[in-house]
Amino acid sequence: MKALDVASISPWCESISIASQTPFVTAVVRQGQTLMAVFDLAASLHLTVHGSSPLSLRVKHPLGEMVMCIDEKMPILHTCDPATLQTYHGKDVPAEGSYTNGLDEIPILSVSRLGVTLS
């Protein structure tokens, strides 16, 4: 995802389960006075969050900020020249594009498409 989409990274707070018809949104968390939807990114990618001290990744979604529970290992940020970005050909994640790191194609997650069913 783009750095501009990230609002903050902090320790994970316990979530409160809710009933929801939005795919992968089944909980909320309170951060200060703000109550935010939790997007289960790991489940949407068929992964699990690892570690005993997960982190909360707060992102700026067009419908309002939301949080994701991520591994306790701090994410690595990469600066990419916009000219090196390319179309992502995979269908496994909602991506805006991708960049190549060695032999790996790394998708750039589209925050605005989180919660939209992938086809």
Confidence bin at 116 (pLDDT 50/70/90): low
- List, in sequence order, the alpha helices (H) in the chain: 41-44
Quote the percentage of the chain above a pLDDT of 90: 18
Average pLDDT value over all residues in the chain? 84
pLDDT for residue 118: 43
Which residues make Cβ contacts (< 8 Å) with residue 90, sequence separation at least 6? 105, 107
pTM attached to this predicted model: 0.76
What pLDDT, on the 0 to 100 scale, is given for residue 32?
84
pLDDT at 28 > cutoff 90: yes
Q: Where are the domains of the chain?
A: 3-70, 82-113
Radius of gyration of the CA atoms of the chain, in A: 15
Could you name the CATH architecture of 3-70?
Beta Barrel (2.40)
Comparison of pLDDT for 40 and 101, the residue scoring more: 40
Is the distance from CB of 117 to CB of 22 less than 8 angstroms? Answer: no
**pLDDT (tens digit per residue) in 69-91:** 999 887 677 778 888 889 988 77
Inform me whether the pLDDT recorded for 29 exceeds 90.
yes
